[in-house]
Amino acid sequence: MALVSSTQMLREARAQGYCVGAFNVHTMEMLQAVVEAASEANAPLILQTTVGTVRHLGPEYVAAIARVAAQQARVPIALHLDHCHEEELIVRCIEAGYTSVMIDASMHPFAENAEMTRRVVALAQKHGVNVEAELGKVGGVEDDLVVDEADAALADPAECERFIELTGVDTLAPAIGTAHGIYKGEPRIDFARIEEIARRVSVPLVLHGGSGIPEEQVKRAVKLGMAKMNVATELRIAFSQAIKGVFDHNPQENDPRTYMKRAKQAVKEVALAKMEMCGCMDKAVVR
């Protein structure tokens, strides 16, 4: 199976009341781990890379590995570029084979955000590529994206509706109280805001900052209209802790296959737990 656009899988998720897990991967082993989890769970999957990972590995390398994974898997897989501010890099990723991209112009005034998003949508539509955009500002840290808690701003439901009309964007990530990274306390999600945004717009909504949100809050957000949940930090922690554990046990270990095997398993377990939380298990059609 070739890589697919995430548009249809997310529309189906919203219509049927579940959420697709979108996992940020930084190495081939992390990518393999979440693909194995999705295949085992019979779940649709969105692989994601941050701008930092794209610059580190190269979009062509990432897309090539993702294509091989999709060809061997029995579930639909999309490849998404997360939180990109640069139209030039978006073009390069689309040319490399990405099937979904995020233009994040949320740091700009509404009109400028809408215009940048509209341009990317016009380009991506020619290639059948999904486009995600953000309104408001999600707090926390992701790569070199840093939004202080004081600067985080929640999305306005009326602006969300207008934004969709102006841009034709496929999916929308409204800031509703979540944050990138690990939460210092209980997440303060504005569920009433999610409900109002979902009432006003028909496109699938995206829950950013999915690491560490309690299960009951995730399920409530999904029920209200969230169709995609991004998970990054918990995967990195699981991956790193597993490798550290190998060296704690045997400081002389020098075979990457040994510690990468443990790291892959740790990431797979986190991904499976998130897929169950999202309700997307057994939502893919096995070939």
Sign of CA dihedral 238, 242, 243, 248: positive
Nearest to 154 by CA among 178, 133, 131: 178
Structural domains in the chain plus CATH codes: 6-278 (3.20.20.70)
pLDDT of residue 66: 98
Query: Which residues are tagged catalytic?
Result: 82
- Give the span between the Cα atoms of 192 and 183, in whole angstroms: 21
Mean per-residue pLDDT over the chain, rounded? 92
The vertex-260 CA angle with 255 and 262, nearest 5°, equals 110
- Give the span between the Cα atoms of 275 and 279, in whole angstroms: 6
Residues of the chain with pLDDT under 50: 139-142, 145-148, 150-151, 183, 287
pLDDT of residue 286: 55
Binding residues for Zn(2+): 83, 104, 134, 180, 208
pLDDT of residue 117: 98
Binding residues for dihydroxyacetone phosphate: 181, 209-211, 230-233
- Give the span between the Cα atoms of 128 and 208, in whole angstroms: 23
Binding residues: 83, 104, 134, 180-181, 208-211, 230-233
- Per residue in 53-106, pLDDT tens? 999 999 999 999 999 999 999 999 999 999 999 999 999 999 999 999 999 999
CA 41 to chain centroid: 18
- Per residue in 162-191, pLDDT tens? 999 999 999 999 999 877 555 455 677 999
